[in-house]
Every structure is written in structure tokens, then in C-alpha cells.
Chain A
Amino acid sequence: MKLELRGITKRFGDFTANDRIDLLVEPGTVHALLGENGAGKSTLMNVLFGLYDADEGEVLLDDAPVVFAGPGDAMNAGIGMVHQHFMLVHPFTVAENVMLGHEDVRGPAKLLDLDAARAKVREISDRFNFNVDPDAVIEDLPVGAQQRVEIIKALSRDASILILDEPTAVLTPQETDELLGIVKDLSAAGTSVVLITHKLREVQAVADTITVIRRGKVVGSAEPTASQEELASLMVGRAVSMLVDKAPAEPGATMLTVEGLTVVDEAEIVQLDGVSFEVRAGEILAIAGVQGNGQTELTEALIGVVNADAGRAVLDGEVITGKSIKDVLHSGIGFVPEDRTEDGIVATMTIANNLILDVHDKEPYAKGLALQPKVIADEARKHVEQFDVRATSIEQTAGSLSGGNQQKVVLARELSRPLKLLIASNPTRGLDVGSIEFVHKRIVAERDAGAAVIIVSAELDEVVALADRIAVMYHGRIVGIVPPETDRDTLGLMMAGAHQEEVA
């Protein structure tokens, strides 16, 4: 079946998540939808699947326009989706999950026909070598097998187009290879596959066609023969002007030294692999890289949100690894987390309260056990004005602010302490242009005031605009630290894992 999306536009309030997106998936091909998190891939697929209504544009199946009121319609039309988070009933068996919602019944008493479901699972499993036992209970299966159950579920409903949303996010490297093999087999058998991902290797391994989405727009398409650096630069943006008005850095003494920092996650996967670098006072070190290459773990290990399994970080002569988050923050680190709604603000508390989350028990906000409401309110008013937070009152809840204003609250809080080091993770994600400019200005001002700054950003434009030095991460390692004048092709190559020396 041929799938075509024409001019799909989806807005949330005044934010455009999908901007006139065109997409053509030929029968029996693997079409990769490539883009950073937040680029609008999932929104697009949710529109296709009938979960969101598009504001403009149309969906065509075999050249005939269709309208899906919900996932049920989409499935009946032959579109199957495997979500990033599986939709399986854990205490049920594979066969039970596969029949769920489409239960076969037999006899006048309409008893469940589990045998039919088992046979179906066995048939599909054998056809594609899935090696899935229909009577296995879901919660006993490894993640990779659970994903295959999801695929069986879709195929059992005669899906001729299969959408896989970030399918490898939860898989081990071996499971990933298995999945990619399955994808090839499926397309060979005539099923079209839409693969949503931000991982370049997977795209190159299986895709027939590649469409790259950035900030809600299709920014280009590529053949699978395109090099990784071409893809990377398409994904993170071309050299558009994102100018930040800043004087040359005047680096002082070394402020932060990181030595062999290593983080192994619960699944025993090495997320951060012996990372070492230094940041000096008065300079901005930007960490570039395709998302998911250890950047998050690096910032979290520095702050103490996750424990380092090896290595250490020294801030101004003081070892900070192994300290509590509180002690780390109070030793002079400001932290702007990646996910501001989850980690940055308490949505139900007031702006004034959010501004003192990490200093609420310090003078002058508190005397002993007692908070000082007047001081808190006065300071809040000052910060709201300084950071241009658009709010009607400091007693407004932080959750009622727009994303940009929430981020300003976080910045106002983190920058209102004397800092030796500022760590900001994707500080402008999801912000409008005005807010981005403001945030960048404050970050540069902090550098000029003598703090060391680490910026993690998935946006190459941002990295280049802010950085005094750029560290590129790949697979949990720093592949090289280069000056900001480095050309983008080189950066693209490094993001794809090439070492600095190899590039040069």
C-alpha cells in the first residue's frame, strides 16, 4: 500500500509542531523519519494514526484521501503502529495480548478462541523468525521480545504499513541488530515500514528513503548512501545565523576538572565511558552530539543525580563526585535541567516559591526554620523583572506560565546565586526566538562574570553560537574538543564517531 501525507500542519496554541509536511512512503519500502527529539516526528505519526486532528493537509492511501477518527480506523485501513512505550498487558500471555480488542470467539457461548490466537502468533513468528512463544507471559519476556509481540500484534491485523516509533530506544545493541533484520524481512515481504528515529546508524542500515525533520519542517531528504555527517548536519541544522553577541572569552584558572567519569545504567549499558575534560573560569564549553550519546548522563553525574561508577570531578580544588545534590549545588554550581517541567519547576507552586527551591533554607530567605515571606516576595519581584518573566503576579503558579517563561524562572533561580560553574542542558529547547536570545544573553553574561559554563545542546547552531570550545560526544565518549570555528562537516563527522585526528 502506498501512503502519502500532503501538507500536514498541526499547531498547539501558537506553537507549530508540524509545518506543511509532505511524506511519500512507497509500497514495500523502509522510510526513515529522522530528527531530534522534539522535531515533530511523533506528532506527525499521531496525526496519521488518528490520535490528533491535523489543522491542514490530508492523508492518502493508494492515492485516495482518508480521514481517521482514531487508531481503530487507522488499523482497519491497514496501518499498524508500535509505540515507543509498549501497549501490552503484562500479566497476559503473548496470544492473549495479540487477540486483545479483536478476540476470536467460538461456539454459542462465545468462548475465547485462544487456539486461533496461538496459531496466528505461531504463524507470524515462524514466518519472520521471531522466536516468540504464544504462551509466554509478557512480563517474563525481555524488552526485545516484547517489541516483537507488538509487531506481531500489528501484523495479525493485516497491517501493510507498520510505523515503528523510536523502536531501538529501549533495546540493547544485539536486540537492535535483530530488529533491523526483521525490518528488512518485513519490507521484503511487501510491508511498508516507517521508522522514526534519531539514530543515524539504523537509518543507514535499513532505510530505502530518508526524510529529515527539524523544528516541525521537512528540511531535506536523503538516500541511504548519504554519509553520516551529511545526515547529522541535516538533522541539527545548517549554518543559519544564530548570532550571539559576545566578546572573546578571557579564560582564567581551571574551574572544573573531570577525570575518567563513567556511568553504567541499570541495564548494565555503559552510558558514559571514561570522560575527561577541563573547563576554565570565563569560558563556555559546549557539548555537541546527537542526542542519547551520554550528554544527559554527563550532566546528571556532575550534579549527583546519578552516581558515577568510576572517575571524579573536581570543582575549584574540591571533589564533587560522591557528594549529595544539595552539597554540589551549594559548592557553586547552577543547573538548568534538560526537562524543565519534570526537573526544573514545581508546577503547582507559585513563581516566588519556585525561585527559591534550592535556596529556601538559606539567608535571607529563611531565618532558622522560619521562611521570610516578605524577603521572598521582594526578591521574586526583582527576579521576575530582571529576567523578564511575563506573569501577572509572583503568586501565579509556575505551571500556568508558557515554556519560555518557565525557563526564565529556572534561569533566574540558578543564576541568582554566585556561581563557579553553570551547567545548562538544552536551555532553549521548545522556546520561541525572543526567549532564546534572552537565555543566550544571560548565559554569556554569566561567563563574563567569571563562571565556567557547560552547555549541552542538540542544536548545532546553538553550540556554535555560544561555544568558546566544542566537545563532541559519541557513544558516551568525547571524541574531540575543537574550537568553535571548526567547520560543520568536520563537526558532523565527529558526531558520527570519527575522531578528531581522523578528520583533520
Chain B
Amino acid sequence: MSEQGQTTEAAPEEEAPQESRSRQVLREIAESSSMVVFMAIVASMLIGGVLIIFADEAVRDSAGYFFSRPSDTFSAIGDALGSAYSAMFNGAVLNLEAESFAATIKPFTQTLTMATPLIFAGLGLGLGFRAGLFNIGAQGQILMGATVGGYIGFAWDLPVGLHLLLAVLGCALGGALWGFIPGVLKAKRGAHEVIVTIMLNYVALYLVAWLLSLDAFQREGSDNPISPVVAETAQYPKILGVQFNLHLGFVVALLCAAGVWWLMERSTLGFRLRAVGANPSAARTAGMSIGAATIITMVIAGALAGLAGSAPVLGTQKFLTDSVAGSLGFDAITVALLGRSRPLGIVLAAILFGGLQASGPSLQVNAGLPVDIVVVIQALIVLFIAAPPLVRAMFRLPAPAHEKEVAA
């Protein structure tokens, strides 16, 4: 029992409320301390370091004669780690070897560009997590957003400003529709959102593939499933000039983060979503509608994920393919978890992941390491976040109060 004696009076006879497994996981994630998150990143980098050592050719060569000249192995390890981490730094933060100022800061702008769709989609997923919904459907929502927004971008002819605005809204609308379907199915018929959203990912993927086989979507004079390039009037303007890829979408993403913060912390709607997420039966007894909260959450989450589709289709790639979403929808789950479902956390986590991804090419070219190391580090971060007791044991962090109580 904890010192506060929080359950001393009611606990003994009452059955502990039966919390569903997924809800419990969500709650733990939402409550995981920032210390655990930070340590998870450190632990992943350390293990990533071990992998780098093993992946490095010079290390392996020198290890062959380790017992005659161990110092060679150690210096090779030092070199490998040094070049790997400096390659990552040069690729994701600042390129210290560059000649011009622009080239020096280019890696960081690239990181922010990569982070943009992750911020959008991470915000959507985090919102769902806090409202108690395990939305796995960001991938499909991103695709549908990119499709609607992309179509408006390349098929319509509108004046500057209005065109971009409508294309961006189109992205949000496409995603919102794809979020509404699982939301309404859950609210009205109790269909589990995990299953429905996973399935809708496939529906979205093949729907886009089919659309891209139609004349209306296909690029003129091409048989490939590729759309025409989005009109310039519908493209996100580059905000730091043409030599950088960073586009207005990043600013929109930050505005959305601020908006989501306001929604969750300062609005009546967000209050309801949080209450429903934390204890649906108390929320219901206080007169809140669980069904309405579910639908609204999924629509907003879908719209945000749809906006993630605007980053490639209106910002970087500028045309629609069925692979336009890459693995964004799944990376965004990690980002939302890493950011503890809070907007600021999600922005920071997205920038971290953007950085990891941006560092990939540099890692390969300058350190001769496989790009996959980055993916492994990302995966390790997830693994550690999902197992807070492991991280706490590794770094001897104290357990939070509520877990002690469960153990007692």
C-alpha cells in the first residue's frame, strides 16, 4: 500500500475494476515518465553503438588478430563509433565539414522536413491514445488524405493561395473520412477500432492503387501508377528559399501541435475526450456521450493523419503514388508513444525521428554503415518504451508510486 493510502478504504472487498488490456497499455504509455523515455533513447543509442561496432569492417578485421594486438581492435572500435556518430550528427544536425553556411545548416532543415509528416500523424495518434482509442489506421488515413489533397492539387485550376488552402483542407478531409468510418463503427456497433483501422489501411492502399490506374489520376503519357505533378499553386512554398526543402507544411504542423494542445488542455471537448479516455463509466455517469467522443476523436485523428499526407504530396514528392505514405503511419505510432501523446513531446519525438531518418544517407556514405542501423535504433527505442520496468532496472530508476501499489 502506498503512503497516501489511496485505496485503503475501498480496496479489500471490491474487485479491482476490470481494465481491458489495451486500455491498460495506453494508460501506462501515457503515464510513462519523461525520464524513462529519455533513458530509452540513451539505451537504444548504446545498443545501436554495439551494432555499429559489429557492422564495421575494420573492427571485424582487427578482431581476427585480437589476441596478438588488442589495441588495433580497440582503436578500430573507437574509429567506427566516432565516424558513425559524427556521420549521424553531420547528416541530421549540422554539417561541420561544409563550406558555406547554407550547407552547414542544411542537414537540420532536412531533419525538420522529415519530421513534418511525423508531427501531423503523431498528433492524430496521440489524441486517440489519450481518448482511449488504439488507432492503428494512420497509414490509411495518410494515404486517403494524400489522395484527396493531391487530386485537388493536380486536377483543379485555382488561384494562388486558395488552391493551396483547398488542397490542404482536402488532405484533412480525406483522412477525416477514413477516421470517421472506424469511429462510427465502434460507437454504433462496438467494432474494435484496432481491427477496423488495420483493415482500412489495406482498403486505402488498394483503393489508391486502383485510382492511379484511371485516366483521371494517371500522369499523361505514362502507364505507371503515378499522378501528374501537383500544380505550383497548390504546393507548400519553401520557407527558407529554394536551396532548402523545408516547406510551409512544417509551420502548419507546429500550428496543429499548438491547436491540439489547446484542444486537449483548454477546451471543453478535449476535457470530455480525456475523461472518456481515462474512465469511460465515470464519464458516462457524468452525462458525457462515449459514442460521440469516439467519433469526434477518430475524425480529428484522421484529419491530422490526413494532413501528414500533405507533406509528401504538396511539399516534397509533389505527386501521388501508392507508396506516398512510406512507413509514416507506423513510424508515427512510435512518435506518439515516444512523445507520451502530448503535443510538445510529439514534436520533439518527430524531430528526433526525422533526424534519425535524415542521417541515414550520411551514415552510409561517410561511415560505410548500412542505413538499416537507423531503423534498428528506432525499433529499439520502441522496445524500451514499451518495457518501462526494463529501462528502470537498467538504469536503477525508482518505480512510480502506482506500480508499487499494484505489486504490494
Which partner residue on chain A sits nearest B270 by CB separation?
A371
- Chain A residues with Cβ below 8 Å from B12 are 10, 12, 15, 17, 40, 42-43
Asked whether, in the complex, the Cβ of B286 is within 8 Å of the Cβ of A341, the reply is no
Which of the segments B13-21, B51-59, B300-308 contacts the partner chain? B13-21
CB distance from B300 to the nearest CB of A (A): 13
- The interface on chain B, measured as residues whose beta carbon lies within 8 A of the other chain's beta carbons, has a size of 36
Contact of B8 among A305, A341, A360, A402 (CB under 8 A): A402
Given contacts A305-B285, A370-B267, contact A14 B275 (CB under 8 A): no
Instruction: Judge whether A474 is part of the interface by a CB distance below 8 angstroms.
Output: no
Which partner residue on chain B sits nearest A431 by CB separation?
B9
Contact of B13 among A37, A327, A348 (CB under 8 A): A37
Instruction: Judge whether A347 is part of the interface by a CB distance below 8 angstroms.
Output: yes
Given contacts A346-B282, A347-B279, A400-B4, contact A358 B13 (CB under 8 A): no
Which of the listed residues A327, A344, A346, A403 has the most CB atoms from chain B within 10 Å of its own CB? A346
Contact of B272 among A37, A327, A360 (CB under 8 A): A360
Contact of B283 among A43, A303, A357, A369 (CB under 8 A): A357
Asked whether, in the complex, the Cβ of B268 is within 8 Å of the Cβ of A325, the reply is no
- In the complex, per-residue mask of A347-361: 1 if CB is within 8 Å of any chain B CB, else 0: 111000100111011
Which of the listed residues B15, B268, B275, B289 has the most CB atoms from chain A within 10 Å of its own CB? B268
Asked whether, in the complex, the Cβ of B9 is within 8 Å of the Cβ of A343, the reply is no
- Chain B residues with Cβ below 8 Å from A328 are 287
- In the complex, per-residue mask of B25-63: 1 if CB is within 8 Å of any chain A CB, else 0: 001000100000000000000000000000000000000
C-alpha spacing A239/B278, complex, angstroms: 42
Asked whether, in the complex, the Cβ of A402 is within 8 Å of the Cβ of B9, the reply is yes
- In the complex, per-residue mask of B376-408: 1 if CB is within 8 Å of any chain A CB, else 0: 000000000000000000000000001000000
C-alpha spacing A200/B17, complex, angstroms: 27
Instruction: Judge whether A106 is part of the interface by a CB distance below 8 angstroms.
Output: no
Instruction: Judge whether B288 is part of the interface by a CB distance below 8 angstroms.
Output: yes
- Chain B residues with Cβ below 8 Å from A345 are 279, 282
C-alpha spacing A12/B16, complex, angstroms: 15
Asked whether, in the complex, the Cβ of A346 is within 8 Å of the Cβ of B1, the reply is no
CB distance from B21 to the nearest CB of A (A): 16
- Chain A residues with Cβ below 8 Å from B242 are none
C-alpha spacing A41/B14, complex, angstroms: 11
Which partner residue on chain B sits nearest A35 by CB separation?
B13
Asked whether, in the complex, the Cβ of A329 is within 8 Å of the Cβ of B14, the reply is no
Q: Which of B184-216 contact A (CB under 8 A)?
A: none
Given contacts A37-B13, A85-B15, A430-B9, contact A371 B287 (CB under 8 A): no
Asked whether, in the complex, the Cβ of B266 is within 8 Å of the Cβ of A12, the reply is no
- Chain B residues with Cβ below 8 Å from A134 are none
Which partner residue on chain A sits nearest B27 by CB separation?
A348
Given contacts A14-B5, A341-B10, A373-B266, contact A346 B289 (CB under 8 A): no
Asked whether, in the complex, the Cβ of B1 is within 8 Å of the Cβ of A326, the reply is no
Given contacts A42-B13, A360-B271, contact A399 B289 (CB under 8 A): no
Instruction: Judge whether A324 is part of the interface by a CB distance below 8 angstroms.
Output: yes
Instruction: Judge whether A418 is part of the interface by a CB distance below 8 angstroms.
Output: no
Asked whether, in the complex, the Cβ of A326 is within 8 Å of the Cβ of B8, the reply is no
- Chain A residues with Cβ below 8 Å from B8 are 12-15, 402-403
Q: Which of A129-188 contact B (CB under 8 A)?
A: none
- In the complex, per-residue mask of B261-275: 1 if CB is within 8 Å of any chain A CB, else 0: 000001111011011
Instruction: Judge whether B6 is part of the interface by a CB distance below 8 angstroms.
Output: yes
C-alpha spacing A349/B270, complex, angstroms: 13
Asked whether, in the complex, the Cβ of B13 is within 8 Å of the Cβ of A325, the reply is no
- Chain A residues with Cβ below 8 Å from B272 are 360-361
Which partner residue on chain B sits nearest A414 by CB separation?
B286
Which residues on A are within 8 Å of B, measured CB to CB?
Answer: 10, 12-15, 17, 37-43, 85, 303, 305, 324-330, 335, 337, 339-349, 353, 356-358, 360-361, 366, 369-371, 373, 399-404, 430-432
The 29 sampled A-B contact pairs (Cβ below 8 Å) are A10-B12, A12-B1, A12-B11, A13-B5, A15-B8, A15-B12, A85-B15, A303-B285, A305-B284, A325-B284, A326-B287, A341-B14, A342-B17, A342-B279, A342-B281, A343-B281, A343-B282, A343-B285, A344-B282, A345-B279, A346-B282, A346-B283, A348-B279, A357-B282, A357-B286, A360-B268, A370-B268, A402-B4, A403-B8
